[in-house]
Chains A and B, each alone.
Chain A
Amino acid sequence: MKTNDVILQTTTKIIFFIIFLFSIHIFFAGHYTPGGGFVGGLLTASGIVLLLLAFDLKTVTTALPINYTVMTAIGLLLALSTAAGAIFFNVPFFTHAFDYFHLPLLGKQSLHTAMLFDTGVYLVVVGVTMTIIQSIGADD
């Protein structure tokens, strides 16, 4: 008997975007309020897990054709190169820099290199979580 999960799938299609936006918000707010790369990454991964629950593995990998191992490696590289940037200015490793910029639409904002490091953390968390879930899920 084939179960009809139209309600689950329809709500998932809406809720996924809400979760994803919330995770991005949490990620960007990390410098001044609770949040940051780790929670943001976990929230994004949980959004994808919701997709996996409502649909099957094949549909989700067609919709999001991402190699999560490569994503992890890129995240690590981003984090390391942000920290290693300090080496070229001959200051101790991990020295961050920030400044104020006038951005179109957003106005005066401070941009900090810690953000790039956090992006690396975000990619690693999403990559590792999804690698674990996909490899266990695809295992027969």
Chain B
Amino acid sequence: MINLLLFPILLPFFFAMILMLFPKKILAQRTVASTALVLTFGVTLVLLYKVKTNGIQAITLGSWPAPFGISMVSDMLSVLLVLSSTLIALLVVWYSFSSIGKDRESFFYYPGILFMLTGVNGAFTTGDIFNMFVFFEVLLMSSYLLIVLGGEKGQLRESIKYILVNVISSALFVVTVAYLYSVIGTLNMADISVKIAQIDQPGIITVIAVLFLLVFGLKGAIFPLYFWLPSSYAAPPIPVLALFGALLTKVGVYAIMRTYTLFFTLDQGFTHEMLMILSILTIIAGCIGALAYFDVKKIIIYNIIIAVGVILFGASQMNEAALMGSVFYLIHDILIKGALFLLIGVIIAITGTSDLRKMGGLIKTYPMLGWTYLIAAFGLAGIPPLSGFIGKLLIVQGGFEAGNLWGSILILLSSLAVLLSVIRIFIYAFWGETVEIKPLTRQHYRGLFMPAVILVAISVLYGVGSEWLVPYMSDAASVLLEPALYIKAVLGGA
């Protein structure tokens, strides 16, 4: 089965088309959408096993020889990302059954999610820079549908901003690819890497590297390009927010990691130092935002920005510990952000508000929810047995090894800010005097709570079993550290 690595892209795509045929039959929509995601998840597990045993999987579409056709490459990093994004999509779809409402469900909501997953999985798997642009557009267009679907006033206002920013960044992406093509003359990522090494990265390539940072930074929300994110993400309903928060910025982060470890490795004194400074500023900006608000959505949204900064700081260090830490933290962050958004969704559904000052005393009526939230919050901050610990530890270790003392200390300090920001939610919402709430029906509550608990449980396992995950993560980091492995898998021998 040489086409196996394409199945995580093709299956959601195929089932999304099927779903377009009967938009009004809600029960069938739910069944087909969840079947599609379970199938995709299963196939990705098989792919993970294959990548682990047989090494990097690569295929060039249409039986053309490698630099001329579109290559699709599945290394350990991309297969892990595909696996976790499929998992998030599956649990978000489950959560949507009891939260999104019939109107949205009967107007192409599930096809939207599946098309978005097609784009996300495609962007993680592609080995061609222009094909990556196309998959970015696939996921962005589906996200335009999901952000505006429902047509509330806030959604309409924010979707205009969101679309405007993304259209501009996509245009910039095309211009950047055009520059790169005119200098290098190829679009295949492995081939670009070879050619850049041959011409020894002259100044123009460094300019293109900065342009790529600009493009992917707009998508992935780094400082100072994150301005659109907090208000745009606060507009759509919770399941869509969870999907966006867990996946979309991570695609930008992945693209930065990929281009900065595969293409632009010869002038690290400039490019990687710039990436490091920007990532530190991103962390600071995120911490300020996370502590400033009394709105639960805004607090978690600013935590996305902090995580983007932490991952990119790891990626900019270019040593084994930091890159492995980045991969650990990237997967952890996808899981934990999904879990946190689903949990605050439950809190908002119970209290009917997202303002912390109007909540209180939930621990008496919903103890399970409270303790689950607390575990997720500790996981986010990186308290030892939980999932955020190992990634941040390795990133800080890598930072010290590379001699960036202050950056590493700042990352440690940012953990405190993260912990404070999420514990504030716990203190305000679960402790204190009980405010009047409208209790959910048992079935409704269970439908919302179960996916969130499963996600928290997976993130706890991820933290506890990190020793067992180390071989996978070191495989992923070794491809980032040695582009030769990637190039050999795509272009063959030589």
The answer to whether the Cβ of B60 comes within 8 Å of any Cβ in the partner chain is yes
A92 to B2, CA, bound (A): 7
In the assembled complex, the CB of B114 is this many whole angstroms from the nearest CB of chain A, namely 12
In the assembled complex, the CB of A87 is this many whole angstroms from the nearest CB of chain B, namely 5
In the assembled complex, the CB of A92 is this many whole angstroms from the nearest CB of chain B, namely 5
A contacts with B, residue count (CB < 8 A): 17
The answer to whether the Cβ of A84 comes within 8 Å of any Cβ in the partner chain is yes
The answer to whether the Cβ of A49 comes within 8 Å of any Cβ in the partner chain is no
| Chain A residues, CB < 8 A from B1 | 90
| Chain B residues, CB < 8 A from A61 | none
* Contact of B17 with A95 in the complex, beta carbons under 8 Å: no
State whether A73 and B62 are in contact (beta carbons under 8 Å apart), knowing that A80-B10, A93-B3 are contacts in the complex. Answer: no
| Chain B residues, CB < 8 A from A29 | none
* Contact of A73 with B63 in the complex, beta carbons under 8 Å: no
* Contact of A84 with B62 in the complex, beta carbons under 8 Å: no
State whether A90 and B2 are in contact (beta carbons under 8 Å apart), knowing that A84-B10, A95-B62, A95-B63 are contacts in the complex. Answer: yes
* Contact of A92 with B61 in the complex, beta carbons under 8 Å: yes
A93 to B3, CA, bound (A): 6
The answer to whether the Cβ of A69 comes within 8 Å of any Cβ in the partner chain is yes
Q: For window 13-47 of chain B, which residues contact chain A by CB distance below 8 Å?
A: 13-14, 17-18, 20-21, 23
For the complex, would chain A's binding face be called helix, strand, loop or mixed by DSSP majority?
A: helix
A94 to B3, CA, bound (A): 10
What string of 1s and 0s marks CB contacts (under 8 Å) between A67-99 and chain B? 001101100110010001011001111111000
| Chain B residues, CB < 8 A from A93 | 3, 6, 10, 59, 61-62
A92 to B21, CA, bound (A): 29
| Chain A residues, CB < 8 A from B61 | 92-95
| Chain A residues, CB < 8 A from B63 | 91-92, 95
A73 to B111, CA, bound (A): 11
A76 to B3, CA, bound (A): 20
* Contact of B17 with A77 in the complex, beta carbons under 8 Å: yes
In the assembled complex, the CB of B39 is this many whole angstroms from the nearest CB of chain A, namely 15
